[in-house]
Amino acid sequence: MILAGDVGGTKTLIGLFEPDARRPVAVDVRTFPTTQFPGLPAIISAFLEQQPTRPTVTTAAFGVAGPVINQSAKMTNVAWAVDAMEIGRQFNLAQVHLLNDLEAMAHSVPVLAASELKSLQGGGQTLLAGNIALIAAGTGLGEALLHHSNGSFLVIPSEGGHSDFAPRTDREFAFAHFLRDQFGRAEIEHVLSGPGLLNLSNFTHIDSACAAMAHGIPDTPAAVGASALAGTCPKCVEAMDLLVAAYGAAAGNLALTAVTRGGVFVGGGVAPKILPALENGKFIQAFNDKGPMRPLLESIPVNVILNPQAALLGAAVSANRAL
């Protein structure tokens, strides 16, 4: 049996999987609020206690939201340290592997079914023999690459979500100044994430109340998103438009970085929730708007990952390969 985990800043998914030659099969998956536990071992213990019998686990893998160095990680948005060797000792597991959360999600990309994807560009195209990029906004922003070599993919993790925000329009430059005043610098995660949508809303609502709220402005990303998608507040609509355009531009930059002829995949919790906004054309317009590189970018398939457990599945895929 495979034990897999997707450890995020807001929630953690733990699952048991049956090994399979191509795609491990989920047996039981449960969700835990990350910050209500002192660390990952406590969540693993809670999960195992919920099983009718103690499963025989042969290998384990966990995707964590932070850089993994020598199989240890300090999470970016949670005050946790995670160590593979410690987990192995505590739960008597011979094989435990830590991955960056986007590295874990990237392992799922080659095994995702068409029903788990929504095409934004290049609909109907099969996966091309080329490099692939993954960009995913959620509590934070993650990026990863899949380097194509001899018919298989080598997953390359990154911390590109903390790179600098690259404004393109006068309005985006004004927002970059707003972020710099708030945080000391403007990084792309300050734009492309749940908190980023709230930052955008705070910016667009400067000196203005929200037409969709009885008082003040929305105080959660969900409230901004709901108002924007419903069209009930022009300032929320502008915040969403800015996010979508910045998302498309960042995805296009990543596609150019690795010449991702195999496609670009948009993962994370934000994209499925704002799918109508991603489909209105602004994302792809910004994605393709790269001057002489437009023809290349227009040839690249772009898909939104609809499977909310893609990172968990990817961790299981990675563990499956170690068997």
- How many whole angstroms from its chain centre is CA 271? 9
Domain check: are 122 and 269 in the same one?
Answer: yes
Report whether 31 contacts 12 (CB < 8 A). yes
Tell me 25's DSSP state.
Answer: E
| Whether residue 87 sits in one domain with residue 121 | no
User: What domain count does the chain have?
Assistant: 2
pLDDT tens for each residue of 181-201: 999 999 999 999 999 999 999
- How far does the chain reach from its first CA to its final CA, in angstroms? 10
- Which is more confident, 323 or 17? 17
Angle at 52 between CA 46 and CA 56, to 5 degrees: 80
Q: Do 74 and 185 share a domain, yes or no?
A: no
Whole-number mean pLDDT of the chain?
A: 93
pLDDT of residue 113: 93
CA dihedral 8, 13, 16, 20 (to 10 degrees): -60
* Residue-level pLDDT at 321: 85
- Look up the domain containing 36 and give its range: 2-108+309-321
- Is the confidence at residue 124, as pLDDT, over 60? no
Range with the lowest mean pLDDT among 9-13, 89-93, 292-296?
9-13
User: How many Å apart are CA 317 and CA 105, to the nearest integer?
Assistant: 10
Instruction: Identify whether residues 88 and 208 lie together within a single domain.
Output: no
Is the model's pTM score more than 0.85?
A: yes
pLDDT at 137: 95
Say whether pLDDT at 228 is over 60.
Answer: yes
Are 146 and 92 contained in the same domain?
Answer: no
pLDDT at position 182:
94
Here the CATH number for the domain that contains residue 220 is 3.40.367.20
Question: What CATH number does residue 40 fall under?
Answer: 3.30.420.40
